[in-house]
Structures are given as structure tokens and as C-alpha cells.
């Protein structure tokens, strides 16, 4: 090939790489996003005072330093569009405007998130972004928004992949790094197409504050913790650093029992799910703080390997889960789905735990692992003897296993 032809080919390649169709998403969410969102507790009842107080409480409670960085306003912050089509905040609820609120949140060492919708209207009936994607992305960037949750109401006739690609391209062009959280509820199987488009995608319809139930709302259903867990079957291979399955925001502190709160949080950690708290951080009982603030459990979720956990076995309503961790550790969860306590026996040496996805296996017959109980915060044993434990109803035993050098005795 002549030098001139080579140059032309190179230029064509460069032009291609720069065109929107090839736009790369921002390099964010190496571990699952963590933060808080207004919806699960406050629904449409949001205002700037709530957001400021929540930011303050994230700092004073230590949750910011435990990893909860994003402060996200869900639906209903929007007012009308102005004459040029620019979206404005609801002036009654946010009289100081979104830029001032984002500045306040940033000054607390936190990040700021907003919500919009791919359709003509949001689920709460506010203006959606359809037809205004590039304008909205520019507005968010000018306010200093760091996270966008993008919903799927009022989208009749739209195709999810294209609609989300449009907003991804708009965010990219606006130039401010914004984590893009897809909220399409799983209908178009976003796990099959969304990894290049966004940083997380909802896998299901909405969660609500119940451990084991379904709420029928007429034309849509909301799901309990266990129902959502069961809908994650088969999805683990799609998740990894920068692109996460999102089984919805946390209901910890929203009316579940202490056992259920623990189980819910542990399940989300084993799933490498985004940990977006959904309770009132300003008025948080100590027991709720102990769940959300458990750094050893958070470390399971935030593990650098970014491998979603796998269900190894299930018997009599008890499930045994493993999650390979960076550096050779494993997390282990025995989840008791039953309402009453169960005795759990697990013979490590007899269990061949092989993860085809990551190629990791835990060879308990050859390697001794010491374990730590992450809820009791105690080092309680190792894998040379079978595990024997009582797990209360709708609760978990959550362990971190660390290999010890030398052969098993
Ligand atoms: C949908 C989403 C929820 C919430 C509401 C807001 O139902 O799935 O998470 O954002 O809309 O109206």
C-alpha cells in the first residue's frame, strides 16, 4: 500500500472512531455504584431541604466514608420546560435551583444524581427527555450532575436499545462524566446489549419493602427481596467492572425485620449489586446503620474482581452461595428463606465449588480456608471441619473465607 493510501486509511479510521456511533461511555463504576436515592422512602415528596439534610447525614453517620457517594434525586424534581425547551427544576421544591444543590452536595465530598425518562413523561408525570436528550444532557452537565437514572415510562413505540443509546451519546457529547444507570425493568433484556451503553441496568420491575411477597398494582407488580433474587438467575455472566446488573435499590430500614434487612443487604453484596440506600438517613435506628455501614459486607459487594456470586446448592429452603473475591478469598452465604430457623450443615471437603465463569475453584479438600463471620464480626473457624450453624428465619450466615498456606491437617 502506498504511503498516501495508508494515510487515507488511517484518517478514515480516526474519523470513524470519533463519530457518535463509536462514542465510548465514561470510564466509571469499576465497582458497583453506592449511594442513596429518594424514591423508596419519599417517592414524589422531594425538596432541596431533604437532599441537603440527607447529604449532611451521610457524612455525620460515616456512611459517606463507608462508600455511599451518590446522592440521587429520583422522580418529581422537574418543573416545566422553558420557552427554549430547557428543563427547569420545580421552583417550589427546589427554589435555589439544581446547580446550587449540586454544589452543596459536592462540598460535602459527595456526588450528585438526577433522574429522567426515555419517554415523553416520567413515571410520575413530569416532562421526560424524549426529543430533548442532547439539551437535557447539556443541562445536567452544566449543573454538575454525576449520575443519571433513566427510566422507561411513556415510551410507546420506542425501542429500548436505541433510546438508551441516544441518551448515552448525548451524555458523552456533553462531556461531564455521568454514570448512566438504565432503568428499563428488564423487558428488552438490557444485559444482552447495555454493557457498552451504560454502567448498570435494572433487571426487574420495582422492589418494595417486603421480604417475600408480590404486590399487585393492577397493570404492574412490585416485588419482594426473594422474588427479585430469583429473577437474577442466569444473569451473572453479564456483569463485571463498569457494567452491573441492578436488582433495584435497597429497602433496608424501610420496615423489614432486622433479620430480613441483614439478608437483603447480604444478597445484594453477593450479587455485586449497586448499593443505593433507600431509607431516611436522617432518622436511622442503630440497627439499620449497623447493616448499611457494615464495611466487611460492603467489601464483598465492592470486591475488585467484580464477579457476581453463584448459587452452589439449595435444600429445604436454604441456599448456599459463593462469590470469588480478588486475591483468592471467597464469600459464602447460607440464606434461610424459611420463616423459621434452620440448622445448616455444610461439609466443605465434600463440596466441589467450581466457578466456570471465572475459572476459579475452591478446593477445600486440599486447601484450608479460615473463615470470619461478617455479621457477628468473629473469626469462628476453618474449612477442615463441616460447618454447623443455626440460621434464624429469613436471615443469613455470611462468611469470608481466606486461604491459609500449608496443607489441610
Ligand atoms: C419507576 C422506577 C422506580 C422509580 C419510579 C419513579 O417505577 O422503576 O425505581 O424511579 O419509576 O416514578
- Measured from the Cβ of residue 26, the count of other Cβ atoms closer than 10 Å reads 18
Q: Name the nearest CA neighbour of 260 among 222, 299, 287, 293.
A: 287
pLDDT at residue 280 is higher than 60: yes
In this prediction the pTM is 0.94
| All three cell numbers of 39 | 424514591
In whole angstroms, give the CA distance from residue 103 to residue 107: 6
Ligand 1 probe mutation, 74, 117, 129, 231, most atoms within 8 A of CB:
74
Note the pLDDT of residue 372.
97
Minimum CA distance residue for ligand 1 atom 11? 123
Percent residues over pLDDT 70 in the chain: 93
- Measured from the Cβ of residue 149, the count of other Cβ atoms closer than 10 Å reads 26
**Catalytic, out of 117, 206, 246, 301:** 206
The DSSP code sequence of 53-97 is HHHHHHHHTTHHHHT--EEE--TT-EEEE-TTS-EEE-TTT-TT-
Note the pLDDT of residue 129.
98
Minimum CA distance residue for ligand 1 atom 3? 206
Note the pLDDT of residue 380.
85
Ligand 1, pocket residues at CB < 6 Å: 39, 74-75, 122-124, 151, 183, 206
In whole angstroms, give the CA distance from residue 196 to residue 35: 23
Q: What is the pLDDT of residues 308-361, one digit of tens each?
A: 999 999 999 999 999 999 999 999 999 999 999 999 999 999 998 999 999 999
Q: Which pLDDT band, with edges at 50, 70 and 90, does 20 fall under? A: very low
| Å from CA of 186 to ligand 1 middle | 13
**Catalytic, out of 75, 136, 146, 151:** 151
pLDDT at residue 408 is higher than 50: no
206 is catalytic: yes
Amino acid at each position: 500500500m502506498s504511503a498516501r493510501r495508508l494515510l487515507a486509511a488511517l484518517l478514515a479510521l480516526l474519523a470513524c472512531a470519533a463519530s457518535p456511533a463509536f462514542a465510548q461511555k465514561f470510564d466509571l463504576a469499576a465497582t458497583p455504584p453506592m449511594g442513596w436515592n429518594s424514591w423508596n422512602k419519599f417517592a414524589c415528596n422531594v425538596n432541596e431541604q431533604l437532599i441537603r439534610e440527607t447529604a449532611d447525614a451521610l457524612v455525620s453517620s460515616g456512611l459517606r466514608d463507608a462508600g455511599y457517594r451518590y446522592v440521587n434525586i429520583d422522580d418529581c424534581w422537574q418543573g416545566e420546560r422553558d420557552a427554549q425547551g430547557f428543563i427547569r427544576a420545580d421552583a417550589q421544591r427546589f427554589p435555589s435551583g439544581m446547580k446550587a444543590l449540586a454544589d452543596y452536595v459536592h462540598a460535602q465530598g459527595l456526588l450528585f444524581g438526577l433522574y429522567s425518562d426515555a419517554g415523553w413523561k416520567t413515571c410520575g408525570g413530569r416532562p421526560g427527555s424524549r426529543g430533548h436528550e442532547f439539551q437535557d444532557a447539556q443541562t445536567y452537565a452544566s449543573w454538575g450532575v454525576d449520575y443519571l437514572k433513566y427510566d422507561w415510562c411513556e415510551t410507546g413505540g420506542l425501542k429500548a436499545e436505541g433510546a438508551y443509546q441516544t441518551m448515552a451519546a448525548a451524555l458523552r457529547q456533553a462531556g461531564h462524566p455521568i454514570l448512566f444507570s438504565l432503568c428499563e425493568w428488564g423487558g428488552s433484556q438490557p444485559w444482552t446489549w447495555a454493557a457498552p451503553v451504560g454502567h448498570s441496568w435494572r433487571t426487574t420491575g420495582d422492589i418494595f419493602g417486603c421480604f417475600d411477597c408480590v404486590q399487585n398494582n393492577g397493570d404492574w407488580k412490585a416485588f419482594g427481596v426473594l422474588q427479585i433474587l430469583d429473577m437474577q438467575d442466569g444473569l451473572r455472566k453479564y456483569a463485571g467492572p463498569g457494567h452491573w446488573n441492578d436488582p433495584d435499590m435497597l429497602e433496608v430500614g424501610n420496615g423489614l425485620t432486622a433479620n430480613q434487612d441483614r439478608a437483603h443487604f447480604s444478597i445484594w453484596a453477593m450479587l455485586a449489586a449497586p448499593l443505593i440506600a433507600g431509607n431516611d438517613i436522617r432518622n436511622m435506628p442503630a440497627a439499620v446503620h449497623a447493616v448499611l455501614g457494615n464495611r466487611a459486607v460492603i467489601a464483598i459487594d465492592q470486591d475488585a474482581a467484580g464477579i457476581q456470586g453463584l448459587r452452589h446448592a439449595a435444600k429445604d429452603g436454604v441456599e448456599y452461595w459463593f462469590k470469588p473475591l480478588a486475591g483468592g478469598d471467597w464469600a459464602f452465604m447460607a440464606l434461610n428463606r424459611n420463616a423459621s430457623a434452620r440448622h445448616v450443615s455444610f461439609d466443605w471437603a465434600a463440596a466441589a465449588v467450581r466457578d466456570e465463569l471465572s475459572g476459579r475453584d475452591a478446593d477445600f479438600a486440599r486447601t484450608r480456608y479460615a473463615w470470619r463471620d461478617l455479621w457477628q464480626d468473629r473469626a469462628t473457624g476453618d474449612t477442615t471441619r463441616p460447618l454447623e450453624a443455626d440460621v434464624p428465619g429469613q436471615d443469613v450466615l455470611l462468611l469470608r473465607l481466606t486461604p491459609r498456606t500449608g496443607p489441610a491437617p
